[in-house]
Structure 1
Amino acid sequence: MNSSLNDKSQQVSLKFVTLVSIISALGGLLFGFDTAVVSGAIGFMKERFLLNEVQVGWAVSSLIIGCIFGAAGAGVLSDRFGRKKVMIVAAILFIIGSVGSALPDTFSDYIIARIIGGLGIGITSTLCPLYNAEIAPAKYRGRLVALNQLATVTGIFLVYFINTAIAGYGDDAWDISTAWRWMFGVGIIPGVLFLILLFFVPESPRWLIKQKRAEQSLPILIRIHGEELAKKEVLDIKRSFQEESGSIRQLFSPALRLALIVGVGLAVLQQVTGINAVMYYAPEIFKATGAGTDASLSQTILVGMINFIFTILAIWLIDRVGRKALLLIGSASMAICLVVIGAAFQMGETSGTLVLIFILLYVASFAISLGPVVWVILSEIFPNRIRGKATALASMALWIADYIVSQTFPPMLASAGPAITFWIFAIMSLFTFFFTWKAVPETKGKSLEEIESLWSQSKA
């Protein structure tokens, strides 16, 4: 009888925490939508504003400037005001950015709007996985945090359909004058949905305990773990706060230096292995293989579908296989795919399906590994008291790397050529494999407090 009641209680708890995690993960949907929408709009904007290659890079990467500052401020702001309030601010910034990106008369107006939207994306990219990690039971934390990445690739996938539908609505002149405005404007819908639903989620129980409001955190933890485990969780969290100074300097201490190296290292490597160059510029890459505009947009939808399917597979595997194993398999596979893609461009064998097949395999490899796993690891490896600041630091490093890749990719593609460009990404993927093998610990099944003690036991 007791076993039956416990099972029923666990099902109710899991339903509650999953629902809350899904709402938080909608921030990932905004992330995916806003970073990918430009892939369909950039060709039309290039004609509308007569952009050169450097300006094309700026049109894409201006969002990321906002993301860098949004991620940088997310930790301090969320530590002071709470995860929930700062996510609400992020949703408002995203909506303002979507409206502004759809209505500009000049290229400068567009850039300002994209930076504002980027502030919101930088905040959500940091706080949504962090929030899910802080509210999830250890057993399910990997998949619940990875929901954020699923939402991100869902946003990317939906954008490809939306962009294709909008581009097909009118003639070429309409596309150049109006279609790209609608592509950005549609983002208002998920932004408003996210904003409304955030009012129905609780504050992070770990943040509440940090603010000495344990009595407010206990009902939330009871709904997640049940009464007995919730009381133990409160004591464990309180103990972890007593052992920490809360200063960012603590991250540079011998006990936690390795956590900082792993977090920042994986954040940077996720970007310099080339995924966002492929996602942002997918239609332009396929045009380089000889595909027409319509065919390149259709192939881009296929990229989004593969990204979506393999992210779902990663969510199923991440708490079974583990974080480290997925990173090793994915990074090795990415390196192989990138070598083949580069070789195809080098030999001029791009007219068939070879490049498309290996781009899809590369995206699948990323989607099952670096895509979701890096965000999961960033959300769980840092100590309770400084998790907000430390995750923000790693997220900021990720966005800086993203900016460098997206800003330099068009000129590099034009000057060095696609073969060299993809081979550089292959070298970075190979480095990721060895970095993971040597430095990244397995965190599957461990509570956040257990992971914290893991670093103390293995001083760098």
Structure 2
Amino acid sequence: MTQQKSSLYIFSITLVATLGGLLFGYDTAVISGAEKSIEAYLVDGLDLSSFVHGATISSALIGCIIGGLISGYFSSAFGRKKSLIVAAILFLLSALGSAYPEFLFFTPGEPTIALLLTFNFYRIIGGIGVGLASAIVPMYIGEIAPAKIRGRLVSFNQFAIIFGMLVVYFVNWGIANGQSVEWIDEVGWRYMFASEAIPALLFCTFLFFVPETPRYLALKNKDDGALAILTKINGAASAKSILSEIKQSVSTSSEKLSTFAYGKTVIVIGILLSVFQQFVGINVALYYAPRIFESMGAAKDASMLQTIVMGLVNVLFTVIAIMTVDRWGRKPLLIIGSIGMAVGMFGVSGLAFANIISISTLLFIIVYTASFMMSWGPICWVLISEIFPNKIRGQAVAIAVAAQWAANYLVSSTYPMMMEYSGGLTYGLYGVMSVLSAIFVWKFVPETKGKSLEQMESFWKTPTTKNSKIS
């Protein structure tokens, strides 16, 4: 296979895989346009509390935790490709079920507790798909891609996540634009959820045309299949030597090792990276963006247009992160991002305490989200894929990803209740978390720029790093 054909083949496989990332972002943000309608129909219609509303809007995150926890088992037992097909089917079922939860058993327009639980069930199904995709898509791309371009190709997945959010902001705005609040609350929100079925169906279909990863095939002793794929990707000259390295790696990683074989420090750092990524409050901005903008006095369709502006900012600053992470390093970007997030959240908090609602609020939110997208958004995932030693990476990543989704659920589900108490204190708390995240990175997170995974493994084996400050 010529170099040009090989590059096209790799790019095509990566493009299909990143549809999983796009659906990750799409499913995460689709709720932003529908959450007020869901509140009107299933929460206010049943005279339930703001806590129930927050739990309903965040219910998909329960599925994300489950999906993250089972991703290791699924990818090992059924393969990376089949696990992604399962995720695609779950996305499709969730999109259709969330759009019309009354299907077969309930009467439209008549809210009941059973209908509320059914809606949450469909959202949790989608969340399991997100959890699977969040862990397996980067794994799939990493195991397919040639070493020299692996980092770049894996980074496309983060871009796809943010792009998926931007796409759904456009979709939600297009559905709501020019429509009455009554129509949106009755019908529009259903179209928003149903729109996810289109990329989910494309993802499921295209997955049947991509190969399983050579690493998984080698793990299952299907060496001929692994060699055939490696030859297509890397050329015949390199394929055999790469397969030999994979077989050696598979043999080594199959040894039974404790997750804490390298001490608790690396596991705790991985968990705290995940937790801080959520405790700074980013998913509040993603899930509740239209509501925040409406509180500034914007009409419903105008508020959704403002989320598009925020989505464009997110894409731009994610690209900046991808372009600079290997030049500036991980730690500087994380610290700069934390400072920017603190400025943004403290600004919003101050304006809330002063009861000032203006364009300055939007500007502070943009500063906050831009700072996150150039730092903690993509780079947290980069570090989680880098800091863990090869032999415990699967176990450790599962723990970190589950902690991340659990923290996400906690923050998102408590937001409405906290806002009822005090908006200023709520945003101020996220600002404090941003400051603490900067201190945590400065004191404890190692710089991984320019280091091989084997060098990181040696780093954690060094006794002084286990019992002293990590810099």
Matches within 5 A, 1:276-315: 276-315=283-322
Structure 1 distance, partners of 2:273, 2:386, is 13
Cα pair 1:342 1:420 within 8 Å, conserved: yes
Matched, 1:341 2:338: no
Which segment is superposed worse, 207-216 or 102-111? 207-216
Displacement of 1:38 after TM fit?
0.9
Is 1:49 equivalent to 2:42 in the alignment? yes
Shift in Å, 1:455: 3.4
Distance 1:257 1:200 in 2: 41
1:251 aligned partner: 259
Q: Are positions 1:377 and 2:374 aligned together?
A: no
Which ranges in structure 1 are unaligned for 5 or more consecutive residues? none
Is the alpha carbon distance of 1:262 and 1:210 closer, same or farther for their aligned partners in structure 2, counting shifts above 3 Å? Answer: farther
CA contact (8 A) 2:178 2:301 kept: no
Matches of 1:203 and 1:260, distance apart in 2: 29
Q: Which residue of 2 aligns with 1:149?
A: 158
Structure 2 residue identity aligned to 1:33: Y
Correspondence 1:399 to 2:405: yes
The Cα of 1:246 is off from its aligned counterpart by 4.7
For residues 205 and 130 of structure 2, what CA distance do their matches in structure 1 show?
A: 17
Cα offset, 1:203, TM superposition:
1.9
1:217 pairs, out of 222, 226, 233, with 226
Which whole-Å deviations, capped at 9, do the CAs of 1:91-130 have from their partners, x for residues lacking one? 1111111110011232222111111111111110111122
Q: Can you list the C-alpha shifts for 1:192-222, whole angstroms capped at 9, x where unaligned?
A: 1111111222222222333333443233334
CA shift, 1:406, in A, is: 0.6
Tell me, what secondary structure is at the counterpart of 2:160?
Answer: helix
What is the total number of aligned residue pairs between the two structures? 449
1-structure distance, mates of 2:116, 2:425: 31
CA contact (8 A) 1:143 1:318 kept: no
21, 26, 35: which one aligns with 2:14: 21
Q: Does 1:65 align with 2:49?
A: no
- Give yes or no for contact 2:346–2:431 (8 Å, CA) kept in 1: yes
- 1:424 is aligned, of 426, 429, 438, to 429
Q: Tell which deviates more after alignment, 274-283 or 375-384.
A: 375-384
CA separation of 1:138 and 1:364: change in aligned 2, threshold 3 A: farther
**Deviation of the 1:326 alpha carbon:** 2.1
RMSD: 2.4
Query: For residues 205 and 380 of structure 1, what CA distance do their matches in structure 2 show?
Result: 21
State the 1:169 CA deviation: 5.4
Distance 1:453 1:221, change over 3 A: farther
Cross-structure match for 2:112: none
Deviates more, 1:339-348 or 1:266-275: 339-348
What does 1:251-270 correspond to in 2, within 5 Å? Answer: 251-253=259-261, 255=262, 257-270=264-277
- Cα distance, 1:435 vs. partner? 2.2
Instruction: Report the TM-score when normalising by structure 1.
Output: 0.90
Query: Which residue of 1 is the match for residue 24 of structure 2?
Result: 31
Equivalent pair of 1:246/1:386 in contact (CA under 8 Å): no
How big is each residue's C-alpha offset from its partner over 1:27-65, in whole Å with a ceiling of 9 and x where there is no partner? Answer: 111111111111111111222224331222122111111
Match of 2:145 among 132, 136, 141: 136
Relative distance call for 1:433 and 1:237 in structure 2 (3 A) is farther
Tell me the equivalent position of 2:111: none
Whole-angstrom CA distance in 2 between matches of 1:87 and 1:450: 31
Is residue 142–residue 318 contact of structure 1 (8 Å, CA) maintained in 2? Answer: no
Q: Does the 8 Å contact 1:250/1:256 carry over to 2?
A: no
SS in 2 for 1:318: helix
What's 2:279 paired with? 272
Instruction: Go from structure 1 to structure 2 and tell me whether the alpha carbon gap of 1:234 and 1:191 turns closer, same or farther (over 3 Å shift).
Output: same
**What SS is found at the alignment partner of 1:251?**
coil
Distance in 1 between residues matched to 2:214 and 2:458, nearest whole Å: 20
Consecutive unaligned residues in structure 2, runs of 5 or more? 103-114, 467-471
Contact 1:142 1:444 in 2 (8 A): no
Map Cα deviations across residues 303-353 of structure 1 (whole Å, 9 max, x no partner): 1111111112222223333333322221222122222221222223322x2
Which residue of 1 is the match for residue 108 of structure 2? Answer: none
Deviation, 1:244, is 4.1
Preserved CA contact (<8 Å) 2:21 2:160: yes
Match of 1:161 in 2: 170
Match of 2:366 in 1: 360
Q: Deviations over 1:427-453 (max 9, x none)?
A: 222222222223333334555555445
Counterpart-to-counterpart distance in 2, 1:225 and 1:381: 27
- Other-structure match for 2:105: none
Partner Cα distance (2:330, 2:215) in 1: 23
Mapped to 1, the partners of 2:317 and 2:38 lie a distance apart of 31
Secondary structure, aligned partner of 2:328: coil
The worse-fitting range, judged by mean Cα deviation, of 217-226 and 86-95 is 217-226
| Aligned partner of 1:441 among 438, 446, 467 | 446
Deviation at 1:289, TM superposition (A): 2.8
Name the CA shift for 1:414/1:305 in 2 (closer, same or farther; >3 Å).
same
